[in-house]
Structures are given as C-alpha cells and as structure tokens.
Amino acid sequence: MKSYSTILFDLDGTLTDSSQGIINSIIYALEKYDINDYEMSLLRKFLGPPLHESFEKYYGFDKEKSLQAVKLYREYFSTKGLFENEVYCGITNLLQNLKENGKTLIVATSKPQPFTDRIMEHFDLAKYFDFIAGSNMDTTRSKKAEVIEYALNECNVKDKSKVVMIGDRAEDMIGAQSVGIDSIGVEYGYGTFDELKNADATYIVKTVDELKKLLN
C-alpha cells in the first residue's frame, strides 16, 4: 500500500454516525407534504448523496419541490438533528495518530459548510484537520468531486498520487476517481461492500481498526 501524505475524510458514515438526525430530519420534511408511508430502508438511501438529488430520485419531486424539501429538512436539522449524532468508536484515536505522524487531514463532505463546521466543533474533531470542506447552502459544490477538487485547490495539493479519499458511499469513490486520487471504502458506514466494490474503491475495510492498520 502507498504511503499517503494527504488524507480526505467524508463526514457522515465515516467520522460520525449521523443517521438518526438525518432520517428524523427527512421524516420531518416528508410529513410537511403529508407523506407518511416511508420505509426506513428507503430513507437510509438518503445517507451520503446530496439531499435535493435524493428527494428527486426517491420521491419524484421536481427541482423546485426538492429544494423546498431541503429547506424543511434544515428546519429540524439545524436545531435538533445536527446533534442526534455520535463519533464512531476509534476515530478520535485514529485522527490523533495520523496527525502525530505528520499527515495533512481534510474533511470533504456534501453536507453544507455551516452544519459541517458546527458538528466538527461540537464533537471536538476540528482540531485534527488542516481544512474542512463542505457544500454551499444553495446546493452548489454539492457533488463529491467538486468538494474534493475545492479542498485540494484550497490546500495547494499538487501531487495527487499521495492523496486518498476515505468514505462509505459510492459517491465518495466516484468523486475520488473523477479527480484522479485513490479511495478507501469503509463498510462500517452506510454503504455496502458491493456498492463500494462496484464503485471501484481502491481499498475496502470493514472497521475503524482495519482502516488504522491500512493507513499506518
């Protein structure tokens, strides 16, 4: 395995388990449209990709309605859902170890920047990272490739052969490929082995401990 000097982490499903807060926020939005027949397996598909795309894909909302649904989602998420969340066991130790070994650590998430910043500060994770990149509140810079490219440009990272993206969904692997960097898929998040494999993850690990061994 290569020795990576710059390591990008997804947030939801990679650093923290935010499923409860995200799903509760989606339910809040759907109920505003009198949609009450949701299935949990369908709602879990929202975990990872940009929200407006998921409202369109899974509930047939047009663009205008999907953006309105995102605003409703944020009504709940900004006050309650944000903190219905927990850091995965072993993550803090992993980040501290990587930092002590001189790695450049970056967060690259499709979650809006203001929410990302609040979560990182709330769970005392921000101190480990050199840069935190999220999407814009107007849903621009929401695709993972756009977020990764933005982060690498802001950090003036030139040698992409020394960069790896860590995430739990296909979007993370595809985004990494799009910008020409390696990827590590984590099965402890919201994706599956098959999803990560089919998205051509460079490596796949089951646990945080396996991830730590892979990076060291």
Q: Quick one: tokens of 40? A: 């949990």
Sign of CA dihedral 184, 174, 105, 80: negative
Q: Whats the size of the chain, residue-wise?
A: 216
Sign of CA dihedral 4, 10, 16, 17: negative
Is there a contact between 208 and 216 (Cβ–Cβ < 8 Å)? no
Active site residue 130: no
Dump the DSSP string for 119-167. Answer: HHHHTT-GGG-SEEEEE-TTSTT-SHHHHHHHHHHHTT---GGGEEEEE
Catalytic residue (choose from 10, 12, 17, 168): 10
Contacts of 195 (CB under 8 A, 6+ apart): 169, 170
Residues annotated as catalytic (active site), given as ranges: 10
